[in-house]
Each structure stands twice: as structure tokens, then as C-alpha cells.
Amino acid sequence: MKQAVIIGASGGLGGALAQQLLQQGGWRVLGTYHQSGPLWNHPLMTWHSLDVRAENAIAALMTQAPKIDLLINTTGILSSSHQGPEKSIRQFNAEHMMASFEINTVPILNLGKHAQASLKAGHQPIVVALSARVGSIADNDLGGWYSYRCAKAALNMAVKTLAIEWQRSLPKATLIAYHPGTVRTALSKPFLSDDTARITLSPEEAAQHCLRVLERLTPTDTGTFWDWQGQKIPW
């Protein structure tokens, strides 16, 4: 049995990924939730509560998974209860930006730090950081969304940098940043118009695309940024 760890399995994409791995068979899944609580059960699914901002909680979680073959971090925020994505610099708020970095950027580094031993025990382990195309500097033609764009751009740099270190210390691992498409989840729904909703993916479709992309990865792909259609995104 292979072991997957899905951080944010209570979310739209994380939940669909966990369910599809379990349907495929051959996987045990350890999934985390924060505010939503465990939403469903399966004999091969284990739920843990985790606030991904707490390094000691991440370290404790990793002791529950001594071998990891697939680690997917899906945690992310686009807005908070008092602030949505900025349309203009007038709406910029430093506290919101720092909150965005805490959830979108920092966790992959604490996960990488504390999962190393478990990944070493895995078979050609894959680590996926859910990023977003808007985190690509090369692809930024529209502007706006300062906090989210900056947090995901910094996440991309974290992925690239950690992948370089792991080429030496964990050469069988593949670490990528991944854009899932625009997916109808709690994160995106408030910002989808009728027009954009038509070109979005359901969480189930997005999870299928993601797992298809992951199947084709090899360690030579480490330190790259992919979209749901299997195309590389420029940084």
C-alpha cells in the first residue's frame, strides 16, 4: 500500500484528491482538516486536525506517517472574513498579506522540513504544492490580487529552492508547484461570475487532471510548475 498525505483534505480540491486516490485503490490516505472537521469516512482514510501555521503541529503529524509516497499541500486562502482579493492598491492591507503568506507560502517549507525522513522511506515520493497561475510573474498580464499573487509567487520560489536542495539530499523525490485550473470550491466561488463559472472545473474533474499529471512525473521534473492540462507554466 502506498501512503498519501493530503494537507487540507477538508477542502474542495483536497477532498476530491483523497477520494479519488481511495477509489483507485492501493492507497492509504492521511488527511488533515482545520475548521471544517472530517466530512466523510473510509476504512483507509485517517483524519487529523492541523493548523498548518503551527510548525510543532506539522512535526507531530509527520510522526504519524513514517513513510510517505505522495504529499499534497492544498491549503490556501484567497480572501479572509474582512478582506477579499485586492482590485486596486487602495485596498492593500499588510495584515491580510501576512495572513496570506502564512497559509499560502510558509507551510510547504515546514512540511518539507519535517517530512524529509518519511519521504526518504517512500518509493519515488512526489510532493505537490498547490500554487496558482496568478503566482507566475511571467504570466501576469492583468494585475490585481496583490496578496495572493505575491504569496503564490513566493511559494513558487520556495518550491524551486527546496527542489534544488532535495536533488542532493532526496534525489528520488519530485517536488512541483501546481495550478489546478479554476475550480468551483469555497475559495473561488465568491469571485466567479456567470461567465467565468462556465469555464471552471468541478473539484472531481480537477482532481482527475491533477492525478493524471502526477502519473507522468519523474524526478527529472523536480522544481517545475505545471498546470492541470499537463503544460509547464513559466515562473
Ligand X SMILES: NC(=O)c1ccc[n+]([C@@H]2O[C@H](COP(=O)([O-])OP(=O)(O)OC[C@H]3O[C@@H](n4cnc5c(N)ncnc54)[C@H](OP(=O)(O)O)[C@@H]3O)[C@@H](O)[C@H]2O)c1
188 binds ligand X (CB under 6 A): yes
Contact call for residue 183 and ligand X (CB under 6 A): yes
Among 76, 112, 122, 125, binds ligand X (CB under 6 A): 76
Query: Residue 229: which of 178, 185, 188 has the closest Cα?
Result: 178
Q: Are 155 and 177 in contact (CB under 8 A)?
A: yes
Tell me how far apart the alpha carbons of residues 190 and 208 are, in angstroms, rounded to a whole number: 24
Residue 187, beta-bridge partner list: none
Helices (H) and strands (E) in the chain, counts: 7, 7
196 binds ligand X (CB under 6 A): no
**Phi, psi angles (nearest 5°) of residue 75:** -65, 140
Q: Which of 3, 4, 12, 110 binds ligand X (CB under 6 A)?
A: 12
Helices in 105-190 by DSSP H: which ranges? 106-121, 146-169
Gap between the Cα atoms of 49 and 60, Å rounded: 11
Q: Is 135 in the site for ligand X (CB under 6 A)?
A: no
Residue type at position 13:
L
Binding mask 39-58 for ligand X (x = CB under 6 A): -----------xxxx-----
Q: Does residue number 13 form part of the binding site for ligand X (CB under 6 A)? A: yes
Query: Any contact of residue 130 with ligand X (CB under 6 A)?
Result: yes
Cβ of residue 197: shortest distance to ligand X, in angstroms? Answer: 11
Asked if 197 touches ligand X (CB under 6 A), the answer is no
Can you give the binding site for ligand X, defined by CB under 6 A? 8, 10-14, 33-36, 50-53, 74-77, 103, 130, 132, 179-180, 182-183, 185-188
